[in-house]
Structure 1
């Protein structure tokens, strides 16, 4: 009964969804393409004739949903292991955002397809499942939709939540909506959690948690070519590079306020300056001791962020304007997709976006894999486990606010021994926590080989 009411609401919301996509397409044109896929309609461009089910000895069809950019990047390691465990598998890759879909192109092999996630109405979900006939469905991290879960159960498709995480904030929201969230979590076929804390919250909602396997973002390997190019540029920068990684709306202004209080614009050689002097530049007369690199989280904000620094009196150079090397400017703005390894290669140290405003933080594992220490704000509820591991390892520092983070980052930039120690700790963090992708792929392959499931009563 409750899901029927929810379904009526999702049907009623479809005109709003179309209007929202049209608005977003004005900035990111990809949102205006293949819109009908969102509602389970596939034109002649999407040919997909699934082979026999895996249980009958054929190549399995694996559906993986990676809603956005972070989940798509994390899927790289899992897909590599799945292709080893399930030779000949065909991939159906779905996304909800333009950045996820753009990044997902690189994960496709001949015979694979990529489409938008179906809007969560029974009819759209049903058309999606009938068209692609997956042998297994994999939802990355948090994407649990009531009709998607019910539709898979009705059709015997085992739907699994992989690399699963559930923040305390989302857990409390789900408890308040337990009439809807409870059946959705209970209807999953299997869940493999990132941490024991995630597992406990998921179990409390009724999810069938099979095991805690860790976070397979630790298994991702940075693009070696991009990383090498970034490090070569870093060597020529002439001063430490401070990266604001995946900055979110409002946070760049926070940073500007701190910079104006502490330093004037021009760089200085900090090799001869004491760390405590650097961190209090306004009192000592020192000028800004690092090259600033800002990489906004969302591409639709690239121009806005660049203009923000221009209006504040800083010279700005955007990655899209560079040739063989970065152009000289007070602030570099990373306005490209798929080049985070290059930006982390370019950086000596980083501030963690999303953690200074109450937004829950961002994934810091890629920074660690590139050997970049991270200075985090107080808001880390979406990445509690990873941030705790990084802080305990000495690869990251939790700070009270952005003022504190900038002071600590600047002091670290001027302390060679401390900087090297944190960089070494960052590289060691990934090595200590690899292996979750292989464990997950092994579990998924076993599910595929067992074949279709029987729908539970009430689905």
Structure 2
């Protein structure tokens, strides 16, 4: 694709979005009916602000979903400590809940506007951000172009470029360059990610490491943890977390195969999308296994086979109930899920081979002996069986995983260093603004 063709395509995207704007109502309503939108705040998706803009400098942070939101919380807190206002947008109801729980009223939360010109323009006209900071891999053409047209610096932090995305963008190199040239800086997670952004036209690019490493361990309700620990007692446990379609049934099948070898075995299954819980409960129940849903409040009994973690925001609880965790989206799908939270909580980590979304983290964990990759269900069953039967090997992986996370820290400091030229002027302006009001 030539540069001229790329510019033409982006222009067509702009007009197509504007033409489609009146038709977006049914789409947003459908998402709301599925629990994917907040019905009471759907107007924010059209760029209509739910709050007033505060006086003084303001930074717009955007994080798509839960993982990205958790990753940038320490970065947001650091910048807030300098007295700069922040509006933080997310794209999901669950990530909005994370913002409320971890940041409260210290930021203004809004749902991200749809990537069509009327919505993006309305959002920017109201908030007038002095800087936009986008997390990980959120490449929305209209938003990027509108920020560029207004000369608002935009920085991509914790930048990640998957194999699939890189292959796709490489086929459209001129289009990628027309977008990525608008970034004032890209702070990539790894050298591989950094080189991919450079290849696609981003300048300058620096490497920070993964911001997720510098986050605190996932929180837990200590009272709820104590109750469950008493119910489970000394039973052997393992968990399949952040699972996707097919992996939950696989975990249940492994449980059925291993429970005779490990009397009292309890398997904890935590689907990535709790909305699938009804379907999963029916599927697992049909296998003749006794299942308890966390959301029901029903206690884990001595004959409970599966604890289904169908709640939001309790990963810290589930991981503290076991020493072995299979991290999903790595056998039945592609890309994998974040292994760093299990590692922070001293857990021996297992995963399938499709983990390229977190390649750097897995490489470090595997090299240190904190994680092992498995080929298929049978290999996973063998690995779980081995770790249950060999406490020394299990504890060795647990210690290695925790040490790996500790050694990977430093991304927050590196990211702040890269952001300093953009943030320092806003800190000065904020102080002058407060002094003028005083």
Is the TM-score greater than 0.5?
Answer: yes
- Mapping of 1:21-32 within 5 angstroms? 21-28=28-35, 30-32=37-39
The 1:40/1:438 distance shift into structure 2, 3 A limit, reads: same
Question: Aligned to 1:382, what secondary structure does the other structure show?
Answer: helix
Where structure 2 has 5 or more consecutive residues not aligned to the other structure, the ranges are 1-7, 427-438
RMSD: 2.4
Structure-2 residue corresponding to 1:411? 386
1:376-398 deviation line (CA, Å, top 9, x unaligned): 10111211111111111111101
CA distance in 1, matches of 2:422, 2:212: 22
CA apart distance, 1:23: 2.7
Q: Tell me if the contact between 1:376 and 1:398 (Cα under 8 Å) persists in the aligned partners.
A: yes
CA apart distance, 1:406: 2.2
Tell me if 1:49 matches 2:45: no
CA apart distance, 1:13: 4.5
CA apart distance, 1:48: 1.7
Q: Residue 112 of structure 1 is aligned with which of 107, 113, 129?
A: 107
Question: Aligned to 2:331, what secondary structure does the other structure show?
Answer: coil
- Mapping of 1:173-184 within 5 angstroms? 173-184=168-179
Structure-2 residue corresponding to 1:10? 17
Question: Aligned to 1:180, what secondary structure does the other structure show?
Answer: helix
CA distance in 1, matches of 2:350, 2:374: 7
Structure-1 residue corresponding to 2:79? 82
CA distance in 1, matches of 2:105, 2:58: 13
Tell which deviates more after alignment, 250-259 or 375-384. Answer: 250-259
The 1:134/1:258 distance shift into structure 2, 3 A limit, reads: same
Structure-1 residue corresponding to 2:436? none
Tell which deviates more after alignment, 327-336 or 436-445. Answer: 436-445
Where structure 1 has 5 or more consecutive residues not aligned to the other structure, the ranges are 52-59, 269-285, 452-459
CA distance in 2, matches of 1:340, 1:378: 22
1:293-337 deviation line (CA, Å, top 9, x unaligned): 0001012212222222112211111112337x6444110011111
CA distance in 2, matches of 1:314, 1:11: 52
Structure-2 residue corresponding to 1:203? 198
CA apart distance, 1:435: 1.5
Question: Aligned to 1:218, what secondary structure does the other structure show?
Answer: helix
The 1:71/1:30 distance shift into structure 2, 3 A limit, reads: same
Q: Residue 321 of structure 1 is aligned with which of 281, 293, 296?
A: 296
Q: Tell me if the contact between 1:69 and 1:99 (Cα under 8 Å) persists in the aligned partners.
A: yes
Structure-2 residue corresponding to 1:278? none
Tell me if 1:243 matches 2:248: no
CA distance in 2, matches of 1:111, 1:7: 34
The 1:386/1:19 distance shift into structure 2, 3 A limit, reads: farther
Structure-1 residue corresponding to 2:65? 68
Q: Give the structure-1-normalised TM-score.
A: 0.85
The 1:19/1:177 distance shift into structure 2, 3 A limit, reads: farther
CA apart distance, 1:109: 4.8
Question: Aligned to 1:134, what secondary structure does the other structure show?
Answer: coil
CA distance in 2, matches of 1:25, 1:74: 26
Tell me if 1:347 matches 2:322: yes
1:33-86 deviation line (CA, Å, top 9, x unaligned): 3222112122xx4122332xxxxxxxx3121111001111112222222233xx
Structure-2 residue corresponding to 1:388? 363
Tell which deviates more after alignment, 136-145 or 217-226. Answer: 217-226
Q: Tell me if the contact between 2:240 and 2:251 (Cα under 8 Å) persists in the aligned partners.
A: no
Question: Aligned to 1:293, what secondary structure does the other structure show?
Answer: strand
CA distance in 1, matches of 2:36, 2:177: 36
Tell which deviates more after alignment, 63-72 or 248-257. Answer: 248-257
CA distance in 1, matches of 2:175, 2:35: 32
The 1:29/1:436 distance shift into structure 2, 3 A limit, reads: closer
1:402-421 deviation line (CA, Å, top 9, x unaligned): 22112102211110100110
1:7-48 deviation line (CA, Å, top 9, x unaligned): 233335546654343233233164433222112122xx4122
CA apart distance, 1:287: 6.0
Q: Tell me if the contact between 2:339 and 2:361 (Cα under 8 Å) persists in the aligned partners.
A: yes
Question: Aligned to 2:83, what secondary structure does the other structure show?
Answer: coil
Q: Give the structure-2-normalised TM-score.
A: 0.89
The 1:365/1:231 distance shift into structure 2, 3 A limit, reads: farther
Q: Tell me if the contact between 1:350 and 1:372 (Cα under 8 Å) persists in the aligned partners.
A: yes
Q: Tell me if the contact between 1:81 and 1:438 (Cα under 8 Å) persists in the aligned partners.
A: no
CA distance in 1, matches of 2:36, 2:358: 30
- Mapping of 1:82-161 within 5 angstroms? 82-84=79-81, 87-110=82-105, 112-161=107-156
How many correspondences in the alignment?
A: 418
CA apart distance, 1:179: 4.0
